[in-house]
Amino acid sequence: MDPNTSYDVLIIGGGPGGTPAAMALAQAGKRVLLVEAGHGLGGTCLFEGCIPSKIFRETAAKRRELASLGDFGLPLPQTEGMSVNWSAVQTRKHHILSGRAQGALAKARSLPGLDVVFGRARLTAPRSAVIETGGERREVAFANALLATGSVASPLPIPGADLPGVLDSTGLIEIGFVPKSLALIGGGPIGVEMAQIFAMLGSQVTVLEAGPRILGPVDGVLAGLLSERLRGEGITVETGVSVQAIEGEGQQHTVRYAHEGQVHTVEAQVVAIVAGRHPNVDGLGLETTAVQHDRHGVKVDATLQTDEPGIYATGDLVGNPMFAHWATAQSLAVARHLLGAPAAFPNPAHNSAVIFSYPELGMAGLTEDAAHAAGLEVAVAEYDYRIDARAQISGDAFGRLRLVYRKDDRRIVGVHALVEGAADLMGEAALIVRHGLTLEQVGAAIHPHPTLTEAFGLTALGAK
């Protein structure tokens, strides 16, 4: 084979499901070709998802803090109705994203065995592909391949969904102004985060969710508390609805939906369909291989190998859970596997995640319902953050901690926290769940006071 067109590993997708494996394999001496269709390394998380939305949240949260400084003895004049320089927010976002993408690219290109190409890759056979970039076409051969093309926003078959001013989650990230009113179709993590962000920025927000509650897979108790919080902040939350049509033009839209047999409408300047994402398999040339897929994603085995031997898939492409850190864990596991090293492939029962609502909602391991569905006999120990010293000091003593544990050996199988600062608690939570610590072991650890994390020890010690 021509050494200029032959690689040990072809990786399609430069996000968290592909780039970590590319770097690990190149560092181990493999010749790797990494092909990314976008304009930088980082994937959906960096350019369209978790990072941009958290940048927006930071602005919204600081605006909220300024309005409450009087409670801390620091009254500021004219905080009511404080304007937002949205252009500056978007400029800050682009600066952060550009810096992170450039840093990743510089690190990748410092590895002699790693070629990074911005273009499109399409499989032409089980061991070959064509790369198209800048009007040029190049054929390559490979020994193994990793598919990590992520996901795209899921469209809904709603009349009027293609009207100007009706956005998907990507369009909402790129919006050029703070709308006076916003209707969000979808009450999952994206919908809830965006609802609170724009409400804190001054928008009148409505959330329309088809399911019986927002955040369906999340701990039911915490989802219920957060739903109450949204409504208390003036956000309209409608669940169990069926959106029938979107009408209007320009900057005025009407969303018509059915709820409990009655037809209702909501007026909004901007409508955003944020009802999740689906695996991005288009244009990969999977039909030239034995790789199988359906609407849930590419089919893989326990080692993330597809039905085509030597071709692997990671991240959003293989379906839920769709989290950047999950994709990274899978990517690194595949790299170790291809190097012949022992590889601990990620276990969904040990996954952790954070929804950056207000307050934050963190989770690690199984919910109470998921544990019951798995046939486990479990109980739940709870802690109310209203009595927590650190939460009181911060000025937002609201939330709950729930430890899900097995009744037989008292091992903790799930940690779920709703409190501002929950994101930073999930490191300990992930370790607790990953190593199957018991209530007694967590209770025996000395947690510093006053911190949010001491609730772990107090809750464990107080469990029956």
The residues that are catalytic are 449
The one-letter code for the residue type at 51 is I
* Bond preceding residue 20 cis, omega within 30 of 0: no
Which residues are CB-neighbours of 311 under 8 A, at least 6 positions away?
A: 123, 126, 144, 145, 146, 147, 289, 291, 305
* Residue 316 marked in a binding site: yes
Structure tokens, 56 = 């927006």
* Residue 396 marked in a binding site: no
* Residue 191 marked in a binding site: yes
* Residue 188 marked in a binding site: yes
CA 205 – CA 199 distance, rounded (Å): 6
* Residue 212 marked in a binding site: no
Structure tokens, 353 = 């995640």
* Residue 194 marked in a binding site: no
For 162, phi and psi rounded to 5 degrees? -100, 10
* Residue 420 marked in a binding site: no
* Residue 322 marked in a binding site: yes
Which residues are CB-neighbours of 11 under 8 A, at least 6 positions away?
A: 18, 19, 21, 22, 32, 33, 34, 35, 145, 146, 148
* Residue 149 marked in a binding site: yes
* Residue 174 marked in a binding site: no
CA 186 – CA 192 distance, rounded (Å): 8
* Residue 98 marked in a binding site: no
* Bond preceding residue 321 cis, omega within 30 of 0: yes
* Residue 165 marked in a binding site: no
* Residue 250 marked in a binding site: no
Contact yes or no for 254/159 (Cβ under 8 A): no
Q: Which residue has the tokens 């939570």?
A: 429
* Residue 296 marked in a binding site: no
* Residue 151 marked in a binding site: yes
* Residue 325 marked in a binding site: yes
Q: Which of 180, 167, 188, 198 is nearest to 56 (CA)?
A: 198
**What end-to-end distance do the CA atoms of the chain give, in Å?**
66
* Residue 421 marked in a binding site: no
Half-sphere exposure of 58 (CA within 13 A, CB side): 11
Half-sphere exposure of 53 (CA within 13 A, CB side): 25
* Residue 192 marked in a binding site: yes
The two beta strands, 114-118 and 32-36, are parallel
| Angle made by CA atoms 185, 80, 191, in degrees to the nearest 5 | 15
Known binding-site residues for FAD equal: 54, 149-151, 316, 322-325
Known binding-site residues equal: 54, 149-151, 186-193, 209, 276, 316, 322-325
Known binding-site residues for NAD(+) equal: 186-193, 209, 276
